[in-house]
Amino acid sequence: MWDWKPGRFRVKRSIPLRVPDIILRSSAFVVTIANEDWNVVEHDIWASGFFVGIPCKTRPPYSFFYFVTAYHAVRDLKGQVGIRINLRDGRPAIGGGIERWYTHPTDPNADVAVTPFRNNADFDTLFIPSDVFTTREIMQEKEIGIGDEVFFPGLFTYTQGEDRRNHPIVRYGNIAMMPSDPVPTESGLMDAYLIEARSIGGSSGSPVFARRTACLIWNDEPKKENWRAIHGLTGDVHLIGMIHGHWDIKESDINQPHPEADRRQGVNLGIAIVVTADKILETLNQPELVEMREKEESEFAAKYSSTPD
């Protein structure tokens, strides 16, 4: 809703721009287990991740659930790996002993790892539906691009404790670059976006959402270059990818035009690397996982199909 008065515009914002609850409750953390007893919460927290639901074709509204994170964050973890979630009674818990991480079926540099997840009525978790994923093609159709606001929930280790609920921190920024060519990273050339946001340790695996910018034209000039417009955020939320990491440089090189990257020590450039939603979807829809879903659906149909009297 908006009204106009000579010499000024006043926009009445009627769309809330807070982070939707489903996004916060779909976030969880990757941990390593310090003992064999899953009822005892002794663990180390390493990375962020999020839950995704892929609709079941034969049993709507049932979905197949997966946990998604960055592969580099879990690749070298030792011992048992689990997912730290919240329970409905307010306590944290470790869920799902990870048996296998599924990576991208064809691109070894796609920094994606997914694993099937069995939900439990005691878990205070929500799942991001796969139709919220926004591929490059959809971003072009919806005119989502450079300058649009992004945000991502993730791990902030300074506020976490073994007996505390998961409290993801939300960081904001904007899309800074959408390269048509792969971006060089420590993992190799990667299909990615760049966002102006300060990724920190523990953010790897965080889902990245964009809000589309709306343009309100308020005069009738026939020439486009004479249009006057107001730009503002809409309530549309689109999952465009997942945090891979960021670039650091040595403090002494911060003003150099061609600095050398140094991921072990240095100053955070404030540019985060985002694995595209396309790569996450391709990982979730790889032949082996599709076959697993189809097998489960077939078994369910055979078990509960009606028979003639």
Tens digits of residue pLDDT in 55-67: 988 877 789 999 9
91-124: b or e for each residue (b if 16 or more CB lie within 10 Å)? Answer: ebbbbbebeebbbbeebebbbbbbbbbebeeebb
150 half-sphere exposure, CB direction, 13 A CA radius? 31
Lowest mean pLDDT among 29-33, 214-218, 269-273, 302-306: 214-218
179 within 8 A of 195, measured Cβ to Cβ? no
Residue with tokens 């404790």: 161
pLDDT in tens, 232-258: 555 678 999 999 987 654 434 434 444
DSSP string, 174-240: EEEE--SSPEEETTEEE-EEEEES---TT-TT-EEEEEEEEEEE----SSGGG--EEEEEEEEEEEE
Rounded Cα distance between 146 and 201, Å, is 25
By C-alpha distance, which of 307, 232, 174 is closest to 12? 232
Rounded Cα distance between 194 and 309, Å, is 62
More confident residue, 166 or 179: 179
Q: pLDDT-based confidence at 277, cuts 50/70/90?
A: very high
Rounded Cα distance between 67 and 53, Å, is 9
Contacts of 20 (CB under 8 A, 6+ apart): 237
pLDDT at 18: 77
Task: Delineate the domains of the chain, giving CATH numbers in brackets.
Answer: 21-304 (2.40.10.120)
Q: 308 preceded by cis ω (within 30°)?
A: no
Element (H, E) at 291: helix 287-304
Asked if pLDDT for residue 37 goes beyond 80, the answer is: no
Q: Given the DSSP bridges, would you call strands 92-95 and 8-11 parallel, antiparallel or unpaired?
A: unpaired
